[in-house]
Amino acid sequence: MRQPLRILVTALTLAIVVVSCDVSGEPPTLRLIAHDSFKEGVTDDTFAAFTEATGIGVEVIAAGDAGVMVNQSILSKDNPLADVLFGIDDTFLSRAIDAGIFLPHEAAAIGSIDPGLLRDDNLVSPIDIGDVCINYDKAWFDEAGMTVPVSLDELRDPQVASLLVVEHPATSSPGLAFLLATIDRYGEDGWAGFWADLRRGGVEVSSSWSAAYRGSFTRYEGERPLVVSYASSPPAEVMFADPPTSIAPTGVITDGCYRQVEYAGVLAGTDHPEAAGELIDYMLSVEFQEQVPESWFVFPVNQEAELPPVFATHAVLPPEPTRFDPDHIAANRDRWIDEWIEVMEQP
């Protein structure tokens, strides 16, 4: 059952014994650095209950795509840009962990989260889950009289590759996730050949999800009806459709999907570590977690949170998404990206 806001605020108030204050004795305003797509979903109500309960304000700083955000946070770790970082996933997580940018924090809602998503060191807390998959524009394929591809192998056809836009794996977490899915499918001996076929076929590479989805995808007046996005993008299209519709205008190819887990962590060097931990606790509360689907179109990790009807109806759950161990990613990520760049820069 959904918690009334009054109960949530009371519970948060009782739970907070010490509130970190700034030098004036007032509760601080925390800086939360996140990728652009998170910032786009933040409203005046997103953190209102948290601020009402604690007095702690929240300022969200947009930092580009996840890869750019992580790189900026590592470069600025001695003078951090924020108090809390959100939106790092397991494709980039090891880079941040190795750089030592996080302080440990054990989340208050740890008992309501799938243990398989947790880290023993408590350096970051899982906040949401999203499956990176290829999306397609239904109307475009209907009007072109073309059959929608259903497998990665079909993308190797130049007629299909020329319809696809992907994100660069060095700067975009969906881009890296899709690269990992292809490595899982074709193995070390075959994945580069898959990408060489895409390059020869005319695949487009964008720097970020926003540039690919909002700029190149035919749903937004671009020229590519296939785009690397999320299995939960269709409910967003339903929610914001103009004119309104009850049928998702985009579909999901469930072959070649990669499951991302997005984390939040307290940044080392913050002047307000206790307050920063309280913010992460709030982001794992049922009240915040039930905002996650309709605000950012990913799945909540708190198992007590309920899904809204539009999400339950139109989001797709791939049957067998890939997910690599973060240590395996850490050991190979830079090499894979370098090899991908070498393949994609060939004439």
41 and 111 assigned to the same domain? yes
339 and 216 assigned to the same domain? yes
Domain boundaries, position 190: 131-259+317-344
CA 248 to chain CA mean position, Å: 21
101 and 149 assigned to the same domain? no
77 and 175 assigned to the same domain? no
d(C-alpha 120, C-alpha 110), whole Å: 12
pLDDT at 297: 87
148 and 267 assigned to the same domain? no
- Please give the DSSP secondary-structure letter assigned to residue 118: -
Q: How many domains is the chain built from? A: 2
For residue 255, the domain's CATH number is 3.40.190.10
Per-residue pLDDT of 105-162, as tens digits, reads 999 999 999 998 999 999 999 999 999 999 999 999 999 999 999 999 999 999 999 9
Indicate if the pLDDT at residue 12 is higher than 50: no
264 and 245 assigned to the same domain? no
Per-residue pLDDT of 159-188, as tens digits, reads 999 999 999 999 888 999 999 999 999 999
Report whether 343 contacts 196 (CB < 8 A): yes
13 pLDDT band, cuts 50/70/90, is: very low
273 and 244 assigned to the same domain? no
Nearest to 87 by CA among 286, 327, 333, 265: 265
2 pLDDT band, cuts 50/70/90, is: very low
Name every residue whose Cβ is closer than 8 Å to that of residue 14 and which is 6 or more positions away in sequence: none
Per-residue pLDDT of 42-98, as tens digits, reads 999 999 999 999 999 999 999 888 888 999 999 999 999 999 999 998 888 988 999
